[in-house]
Amino acid sequence: MRKLLCLLSTALLLFSCNDVDEFGRMLPDNVTLGEVLSVSDLTYAELETLVSDEYIREEMRRNGGLLVQTQIGTSTDYQTYDYMEVFYSDDQSLLPDGNGDWTALTGSAGSYDGTGKAYISWYEDALMQLPGKTIYCQAYISLYGQQMPGFVGHIQSDDYGSSHLYSDVRSYEYPDAPLIRDFYVEGGDVIRAEFRTMVDEYTVSEMPERGICYSTTNELPTISDGATYVSANEQSSYASVTAQVPSGAYYVRAFTVGASGDVYYSPVQRVSSEGLMASVQIDSLVYVADIPYNALADYLPTDAAFYLDDLRVRGGALIYLSASAEGSVNFWDLGLSVSATGANNLPTDGYDNGYGAEGIWKNEDGNNNYWTLYWQPASYFSYDRERNDFHYQAAMGVSGTSGNIVWSYSDTLATVWDEEPVIESVEYSEDPLAYNMTLTTWGHTTNVGVCYSTTNDLPTLEQNDGVVRCPDTSLGYSVNSYYEFSLPAGTYYVRAYAQSEGGLTYSPVQQITISTTR
């Protein structure tokens, strides 16, 4: 009996000193944190290996976050605790082991697979404060079964009678750039992606640079591998972007660029593209008023000769484009947009021919060359503008197997108006007494008239056979007047002009024949 009592006393002492619960379990000797990994830094294959749960894995790829691996005692100790959690904060003193206020923590995450891994997905209200912050992490494990803890358990127990351990503290420094949430990407004709930039769009004056980058070989693509940016005109925190890339399988990440130049990358996703691609560029712009009379027909395809008379009356610009498409193209469209109020007002989804541009025609040279003309409406020249920058942008849309139109845009071509008069139209007619000119101009004209020549098919005020100045004393901002002038019988190249302090403007050259000397 004495030996039995001795054995029982020894067992009770061991249970008490080693923090054993009523089920015969005791806490491991220690819990340590491994490396704190950003999901954005893991390759597609690494995440597949580390996270077996498909649902959690896809959540990580959409929203990013931190993956924390804990080491709890030995590898056989994972069943010797009831609860595990990883706390995190941008203030280390707020971690529980630092006696911080638990309610003031940025957040916490439990183990998702029972093997000591925890996934920290940022709470919505904390996302905008994370850029540039250092995040501190600490693990916590506990046993619930301690109803009468021993000496060690008493030291470690909380108010609920459970025993617990804290790990060491590890940290992760986030880039100083806005985070990305809800990143979705799909392949097909092209690569299409959508994501949310975590900024307060009601207080931020400009959205950061953002877009997607991609590579067929680099499993963690960066901007230098190839990137397509979200339009700078897009000021919503939610953005979509389409990348036209050659056929192949791609690793894709979204990115944002902070004001300091730091870049935040989303986790990587993998899609395939069928290689639907289109490109368009503006090759040149020529004003009709600068083209000699006998050369104008050479600037147009033969099937556009009917425009010659209109161009000589109204002027405008001839714009030449190059465009091409690759892949299974089922449909294509080509157009030109013009803005007199800044490049930011050009369309971002297709084109708008309502700014004075005509349709697009294909050249007959067998190449992918096109042309259009722009009438340049005088209504663009307002009274209160000293100058206008005109921005031209070509757009080409193609669709493939999906039926969705993918738009490509040329670089913007800018021209400047420095308050010189604008000649809107010039028409001539012959009557028994004189040759009549009806001239419509916009701008503060001080001198209006006609220069002419029988041999020079691009007469100027310096090179001509004569100049007829219209004797109008009421020239002002808008002129729509009727003038008469007399010339000897003959055929003339005539060119109207309008002059002001802002400069000199010519109309296109017209040819007139006077049958009788006046």
φ, ψ of residue 308 in degrees (nearest 5): -55, -50
According to the model, what pLDDT value does residue 173 have? 93
According to the model, what pLDDT value does residue 148 have? 38
- pTM for this model (two decimals): 0.71
According to the model, what pLDDT value does residue 470 have? 76
According to the model, what pLDDT value does residue 34 have? 84
Task: Give the DSSP letter of residue 230.
Answer: P
According to the model, what pLDDT value does residue 518 have? 54
According to the model, what pLDDT value does residue 367 have? 57
According to the model, what pLDDT value does residue 247 have? 93
For residues 359 and 500, what is the distance between their CA atoms, to the nearest angstrom? Answer: 33
* SS (HEC) of 448-461: EEEEEECCCCCCCC
- Name residue 414's beta-bridge partners: 391
- Give the other-Cβ count within 10 Å of 294's Cβ: 12
According to the model, what pLDDT value does residue 301 have? 75
Which one-letter amino acid corresponds to residue 67?
Answer: L
According to the model, what pLDDT value does residue 163 have? 74
Which 3 state secondary structure label does DSSP give 296?
helix
Letter string b/e over residues 341-353, b meaning 16 or more CB atoms within 10 A of that residue's CB:
eebeebbbeebbb
Give me the tens of pLDDT residue by residue for the chain, a chain 518 residues long: 555 555 445 444 444 444 554 445 566 777 888 889 999 999 999 999 989 889 999 999 999 999 998 877 655 544 566 778 888 888 888 887 666 666 667 777 777 766 778 888 876 656 777 889 999 999 888 776 544 343 344 334 444 445 778 889 999 999 999 999 999 999 999 999 999 998 887 777 788 999 999 999 999 999 999 999 998 878 889 999 999 999 999 999 999 999 899 999 999 999 999 999 888 899 888 888 999 999 998 888 776 777 888 888 877 788 888 888 888 887 778 888 887 777 877 887 777 765 555 566 666 555 566 767 665 544 444 434 444 677 888 888 888 877 778 888 899 988 876 667 777 777 777 665 455 566 666 656 778 888 999 999 999 999 999 888 877 644 555 555 566 777 788 889 999 888 877 788 898 999 988 876 65
Closest among 196, 200, 49 to 128, alpha carbons compared: 200
Q: Which domains does the chain have, with CATH numbers?
A: 15-173 (no CATH), 180-275 (2.60.40.10), 278-417 (2.60.40), 422-514 (2.60.40.10)
Evaluate whether 117 touches 70 at the Cβ level (below 8 Å).
yes
Which one-letter amino acid corresponds to residue 36?
Answer: V
- How large is the greatest C-alpha to C-alpha distance in the chain, in angstroms? 150
Which 3 state secondary structure label does DSSP give 67?
strand
**Terminal Cα-to-Cα distance of the chain (whole angstroms):** 150
According to the model, what pLDDT value does residue 89 have? 87
φ, ψ of residue 379 in degrees (nearest 5): -65, -15
161 by Cβ neighbours in 10 Å (0-12 / 13-18 / 19+) ranks as middle
According to the model, what pLDDT value does residue 440 have? 60
Measured between alpha carbons, how far is residue 102 from residues 72, 82, 93, 96, 450 in Å?
23, 20, 11, 6, 86
Closest among 14, 10, 29 to 163, alpha carbons compared: 29
According to the model, what pLDDT value does residue 262 have? 95
465-470 LR contacts (CB < 8 Å, sep 24+) = 465/492, 470/437, 470/439
Counting every residue written for the chain, the total comes to: 518
According to the model, what pLDDT value does residue 377 have? 47
| DSSP character string of 132-145 | TPEEEEEEEEEES-
According to the model, what pLDDT value does residue 478 have? 52
According to the model, what pLDDT value does residue 185 have? 97
Evaluate whether 405 touches 437 at the Cβ level (below 8 Å).
no
Evaluate whether 282 touches 413 at the Cβ level (below 8 Å).
yes
Evaluate whether 103 touches 152 at the Cβ level (below 8 Å).
no
